[in-house]
Structure 1
């Protein structure tokens, strides 16, 4: 099992570095692309809603949103029905980045899994989902 953990750690480190490099070409940091993907599907979510969808904590999303706001990717607005709530909305810059970021992620996924058969890709996805479920 120790070898498996070492492999996970090494793969994670390499994949994170490659993802960060691919995303930085579009002015986005690794992790921010995941927030963007959720907001591209449904804009105007509260940080707690984003956190629940991504399996993260609300403070993590708040910190990420602060950096994204500084980068011009999102704006915060009070909820018109409940002034206690803040919602995150995409900027035009973030909307323009959608197609290039999705393309970059597809290219990276294809590169990372190029040596795998289709069956191996399915098994890898299934195994990773089980690991995530176990640790969540």
Structure 2
């Protein structure tokens, strides 16, 4: 049975989500311009993922899984970030064949700047909303992100 045609409202919502994502990226870039931090969205996401692991650096395979990409794509991202001094590859102490990725001091300071820019961009975009509207939006976004059919 074919899927029903999207309604005008569904199409409109999809376009609004795309426009909002682009606006968020532009606002975040604006907040980073003075820092001369030009990272691609994928590189920024990789830094956030590595930072999320804290004291136990993730394996390359863990990062690939979280990014939902093939391991080769992670290698390319790590190469670029390693060239910039933001991450380094380290052997796993329990299995030297396994490579882990850890943040350097530069990577940690970059991650702090990226988080700060993201918060500032979100605050700028969400400024017109009341606290109650932000709560509703947060709930709706959680439903969409964590809803059925999403990879966990």
Q: Which moved more, 1:125-134 or 1:33-42?
A: 33-42
1:9-34 residue CA offsets vs partner (Å, 9 max, x unmatched): 11112222332443463353334333
Is 1:39 the counterpart of 2:46 in the alignment? no
SS of equivalent to 1:48: helix
SS of equivalent to 2:88: strand
Is 1:29 the counterpart of 2:47 in the alignment? no
Q: Distance in 2 between matches of 1:72 and 1:61?
A: 16
TM-score of the two chains, using structure 1 as the length reference? 0.79
Q: Which moved more, 1:14-23 or 1:67-76?
A: 14-23
Contact 2:46/2:67 (CA < 8 Å) preserved in 1?
no
What is the correspondence of 1:108-127 to structure 2 with a 5 Å cutoff? 108-127=121-140
Structure 2 stretches lacking a partner, 5+ long: 1-9
Contact 2:24/2:122 (CA < 8 Å) preserved in 1?
no
Is 1:48 the counterpart of 2:61 in the alignment? yes
Structure 1 stretches lacking a partner, 5+ long: none
What is the correspondence of 1:64-83 to structure 2 with a 5 Å cutoff? 64-83=77-96
| Root mean square deviation of aligned Cα | 2.4
For 2:108, which of 86, 95, 107 is the aligned residue?
95
SS of equivalent to 1:84: strand
Contact 2:88/2:101 (CA < 8 Å) preserved in 1?
yes
Q: Distance in 1 between matches of 2:13 and 2:26?
A: 20
Contact 2:86/2:110 (CA < 8 Å) preserved in 1?
no
TM-score of the two chains, using structure 2 as the length reference? 0.72
1:71-104 residue CA offsets vs partner (Å, 9 max, x unmatched): 2100111212112211011112112334433322
Larger radius of gyration: 2
SS of equivalent to 1:57: coil
- Cα distance change on mapping 1:94 and 1:83 into 2, 3 Å: same
Match of residue 17 from structure 1? 26
